Chains A and B, each alone.
Chain A
């Protein structure tokens, strides 16, 4: 099984600021995924992070608001920019290896 380390686990941020979330996978994976989830609710895919190319964003999400980096096959970051209280949520990264999806432990973000 793959192990994904995600940090920070939680943060409280002021509106208007930005937060960068990091995910480290213990093995190389082709694509990594970033999700947003309200506690106990559905997983909403934000974007797919490809190594060596720009991330692919889902409808309703844009690069200016959620810039993503993917410098190598084991690491990715998601930045939540110019935050507002509506961005308060849990953010999860994920990677697929041999068809199984593995998730980071999540980042609980509160914007005040």
Chain B
């Protein structure tokens, strides 16, 4: 089955700096890669996703890149703000397949 690895496990940046979180996946059939943000005490929520037919997707300060050949994808947050502090999870799945596998999570801390 699919195995998703995520790095780093913790990340601390200064407000205004960029943050990058990286994930790799094992199943070449995976074609859907979402990212979830979980604030303290709250449930994980989808913030951005990318499908395998594109290499990059951007939504304001966040962007995701996908390298299908290398089977890795990354989350980029620019101009970080304290409210970006949370645990971020990457995931991989195959369209129309309910088997979504999550990475271990990255705790991002943005220092004011």
Which of A's residues lie within 8 Å of B, judged by CB? 30-31, 39-43, 45, 48, 92, 96, 99-101, 103-106
Contact = CB atoms under 8 A, between A and B. Distances in A.
B36 A40 contact: no
The 7 closest A-B pairs by CB, nearest first: A42-B104, A103-B43, A31-B98, A42-B105, A43-B102, A96-B98, A103-B44
Contact of A100 (B40, B46, B99, B101): B46
A34 to B, nearest CB: 13
Nearest to A58: B1
A48 to B, nearest CB: 8
Given A30-B98, A40-B87, A40-B107, A101 B34 contact: yes
B98 A43 contact: no
Given A100-B46, A101-B36, 8 more contacts: A40-B105, A41-B87, A42-B89, A42-B102, A43-B89, A48-B99, A100-B34, A106-B43
Give the size category of B's interface with A: 20 to 34
Q: Secondary structure of the A side of the interface? A: loop
Contacts of A30: 98
B20 interface: no
Contacts of B40: 39-40
Given A43-B102, A96-B98, A105 B34 contact: no
A43 B44 CA distance: 10
B95 to A, nearest CB: 6
A69 B43 CA distance: 22
B65 interface: no
13 contacts: A30-B98, A31-B98, A40-B107, A42-B103, A42-B105, A43-B89, A92-B43, A92-B44, A99-B49, A99-B93, A100-B34, A101-B46, A105-B43
Nearest to A31: B98
A96 B87 contact: no
